[in-house]
Homo-oligomer: A and B are copies of this chain.
Amino acid sequence: MNKATVNFIGTIQTSYKTVAECPGQARPANGVSKIVLDPEMLPALKGIEGKSCIQVLYWFDEADRSALQKVPRWSETNEKIGVFALRSPMRPNPIALSTVELLKVEENVLTVSALDCRDGTPLLDIKPYMDPP
């Protein structure tokens, strides 16, 4: 086995209708986003309301998965950098990861500090945040 299947388990609602509008990172200053979990996943949220910070994993479904290097947006030299040294959506497995504040839990909808993805982005996973050791 050299691959696996990930199932989309919800969607992320943001104010960005296209990838071009998306900011470079998730930032609380950009407001809030909503994570709408598929209703059958509701039991998996039990205990989440006690967490102030969560890690959200989602799928950059429009990303180019074939390129291994790119010139970062912020580059002044036009030098290409490896995608594993960047947090760009462009990577072999376009799994996005952001740490956000958990602001509200209502049934299967989580309100969090703003994520950085296009409205309708597929959700992969939610984990409680843990400080690096």
Contact = CB atoms under 8 A, between A and B. Distances in A.
Contacts of A130: 25, 87
A82 to B, nearest CB: 4
Given A5-B3, A87-B130, A132-B99, A93 B47 contact: no
Interface residues of A, number: 57
Interface centre among A5, A87, A93 (most CB of B within 10 A): A93
Number of chain copies forming the complex: 2
Nearest to A100: B132
Interface of A: 1-9, 25-29, 41, 43-48, 50-51, 53-55, 57, 59, 61, 68-69, 80-87, 91-93, 95, 97, 99-100, 113, 122, 124-130, 132-133
